[in-house]
Structure 1
């Protein structure tokens, strides 16, 4: 259900931190934060889609000042309730048009958008504008980092357009692809103990690495690194996701 918090309202915020996805495991978070802290280089970081602070809080504990942008007040309320959460500034709004005042503390040395969140922008225009918004917030030499999946089109059987990605006795989920438009919708179906069902659908737009590079160029950024993940292994044709780093040229 979509409301003023987008697709991540109170119902999703309540359960978000209990996700069983690998991204919520302590060792994965630690690797992510280690890379981001190094890229920040002692400067400030801007997290787009800060949510409940999965990455922002441990990054702040590493001494990196973090400011966030997020549309969901419900998610940010969870961040605020955690130890250290009140010390992190958050601007409420979408990360395509929302700006952060940098006149007092200066621009950011790092901006990051993780966990496939670039795909929540469901049009190419919005994704391009996101890059431009980030570039306007970065200091010369600053970096923009995106973590996102590689589109799973090789998993689609011939003549079909559905890829299941979760199945169990209490729920299942699948992605419905439109390869002509690059639109994708994730459908989640869950069952409660009393046998009741609930369905939720979230639209995405999948995006290719080379397409992201072009978006970066349109925003005046250039590719610096691309890895298979936070371990910084080389990105290959068999990689299922990538962590890419674009740099704003020095002045």
Structure 2
């Protein structure tokens, strides 16, 4: 089974936002990624608009629309209220109808997402949001740690997928830690539990050309979302070559 590659465009938007204007263009770079063979595009708009802006979401949704086999994934905190020109995650999803909405428990003061949901505390809050998204015909993925108990709770909520948070694995891989194999075994078990519960499994966060092959030795990873590392690799490889390099790993 091959794994779909969804390119996260947040870092392109972050670079663009360091100056006035639209350079580099998020839309143009999204098109380059799709033309290079990416299976989809991911964005994670936040209320502070530190990178992806609502206008990017609308433009990218239009880009993906009608392209067979290409998916658009919007990530975000479903509990974050509207702020200024940010209309809230659910409004963006309602307007653009992405193929997938990945719900993430991040807060405005986090540099980046760094943990999955604790569904022992947030299930009641999530239930009406999940119902609303299903009415829109959007596939739902929950950002989760590789915890079998929590994954079973995710299944009970009726979502279709989970996205395993891979940050800790990537950090220990970089350090050359002996715990890396233990990490991989935890992710393997988590994937098996998810599949047994009828859930498909995505993965993301700090995956790169070095640590991705070992991670994708785990069977049945449906999709990986990669942005930061791919953007960094593109600085010396070129964006088309970077997308191709990641896609080769996902297809192997």
Higher relative contact order by CA 8 Å / sep ≥ 6: 1 or 2? 2
TM-score clears 0.5: no
More strand by share: 1
Which structure's CA Rg is the greater one? Answer: 1
TM-score (norm 1): 0.35
More helix by share: 2
